[in-house]
Structures are given as C-alpha cells and as structure tokens.
Amino acid sequence: MAKTLDIPHIDLAGDVSIPQFGLGVFQVPPDKTFENVTHALNVGYRHIDTARAYQNEAQVGQAVKSSDLSREELFITTKLWNSDQVKPIDTLKQSLKLLETEYVDLYLIHWPAPGHDLYVQAWEGLVEAQKQGLTRAIGVSNFQAEHLRKIIDATGVTPAVNQIELHPYLTQHGLRREHADRGIVTEAWSPLAQGAVLDDPVITEIASAHNRTPGQIVLRWHIELGNVVFPKSMTPSRIEENIDIFDFELSAEEVERIEALDRGMRTGPDPDTFNG
C-alpha cells in the first residue's frame, strides 16, 4: 500500500496543481527505473519527472500501472527533445504510448536549441497539444528570458513553468524574477549541483543546527524559495531521506546565507549555445 504524504502543491495556469516535490529519473537506466519509481511511489512521491531523451518513459509507465494509485493521484511530466521540435504532437503521442497513459500533466520543450531556431514552432505545437487534451499543462525547460519573450510574443501563451538548472551555486536570481513577473513557476533541476554544494561550510553548519543532512537543507531551501524540485537518486534510503523535509523550516537568514553562495556555476550545458 503506497504511503501518502502531505506535500505542498503549487497552482499552475489552467486549474492544474503540481506537487512541489517529486522524483527525477534523469540518468536512471531503464532497467533500474521501474524499481526506482516503484519505491518512490510507495514512500509517498506523487510527481515523476521524465523525458523522451532519458529513454525510460516505458519503465515509468510500467511502475505507475503496477502501483495501487489512480492516475488522478499522480503528476507526470515528460519533455520534447531538440530533434523532435518539428513534430511535437506526434512525439508526445509516442511518449503517451510508452507511459501507458492518455495524457501527461505537464509537457515541456526540453531545450530552446536556439541554433535550430525551431522552438517557437515547437511551442505552437505544445499549445495545440494542450487544446487536444494530450497534456494538462505546458511549459519549457532551460529557456532564458529572451527565449521566453519570443514564444510569448509569438503566441500570446505563457509557459506554466520553466525548468532550469538551479542550486546554491547557480541561484538564477534574474531569471527567477522574470518568472515571477510573468507568473511562471520555477522548477529546479540539478538541485544539489550534483553534490558539489553538500560540503560547503555554510550548508554543513546549517545542517548541524537543524540536525539534518546537507542534502535535506538544500532541498528545503528550494521549497522555501517556492521552487518545484525533484532530486534524482537510485538509493532507496536516499529517496526516503530526500522527501523527509516537510517537518522543519529554515529561517529567512539561513535562506539568504545559502543564496549568497551563488557563483554562477553550471553543472550542465549553457542554454544559449547548446543545440543537442
């Protein structure tokens, strides 16, 4: 029997509510994904973030089908890869078959891939996919402010979310402000900077004060900022530890101290130059 936790939700445009915490399956091998997602669902996760490029949509779908949870209890995100930007609806239909569901809750353009200059066309396709009921909400990932402005100006439709690399060493303050001004929810990928922030003296000091792990402190920081966050782990105990962050809070001073660690450090590609 799957455990139920009281996870905060954030309202998206179109009367859609997204759990603020979930499980990411980036770089989780297909043969490990079923087990990974099944454990997460059993301990209270209800939000799974996958992508066409991860090549594990089928295993996510199998885990969801095998659970005792109804589809309505779950929030599933997948993404459109760069080479598929000319056929977003057909690609989404292929993802839906693999996920064994009639719709996803959120469909994202994975990267703007500005060198291809197809992301406006792709966004028009996502708008149509939402109209067709193939996805409840639509958004983007790794978009910079100018990319956001271009698709909004072209279509009049604002993304519900922008999923960006965001962690204490890359706080994205300016882009988060742009999101807030436009009513776009910020989602954070690589929320722990692939572990690079966990030994930082500021993080470890705050962790000691709360009797928590450094990872829990950083994930709680994301929650305090209002980010949607979905750390990846293939370790069952870490999956459980990661979500155990809703019975304590950070002070405003602690949040500011962590934000002050920003050094503009990316662990992934630069969205202005990455074309996939």
Smallest CA-to-CA distance from 122 within 79, 86, 81 is with 86
Architecture label for domain 9-193+227-233: Alpha-Beta Barrel (3.20)
pTM of the prediction?
Answer: 0.97
Average pLDDT, the chain: 97
Q: Is residue 24 over pLDDT 80? A: yes
User: Where along the chain do its domains lie?
Assistant: 9-193+227-233
| Confidence band of 1 (pLDDT split at 50, 70, 90) | low
> Rounded to whole angstroms, how far apart are CA atoms 194 and 207?
18
pLDDT digits (tens, 9 = 90+) for 87-108: 999 999 999 999 999 999 999 9
Max CA pair span of the chain: 51
- State the average pLDDT over residues 225-238: 97
Assess whether 54 carries a catalytic annotation.
yes
pLDDT tens readout for residues 257-275? 999 999 999 999 999 999 9
Catalytic residue among 54, 107, 119, 169: 54
Confidence at 3, pLDDT banded by 50, 70, 90? confident
Contacts of 240 (CB under 8 A, 6+ apart): 43
Q: Are 129 and 135 in contact (CB under 8 A)?
A: yes
DSSP state for residue 75 in the 8-state scheme: E
**pLDDT tens digits for range 103-130:** 999 999 999 999 999 999 999 999 999 9
Identity of the amino acid at 253: E
Using alpha carbons only, give the angle 91, 97, 100 rounded to the nearest 5 degrees.
140
Mean pLDDT of 200-208: 98
Q: Is the pLDDT of residue 40 over 70?
A: yes
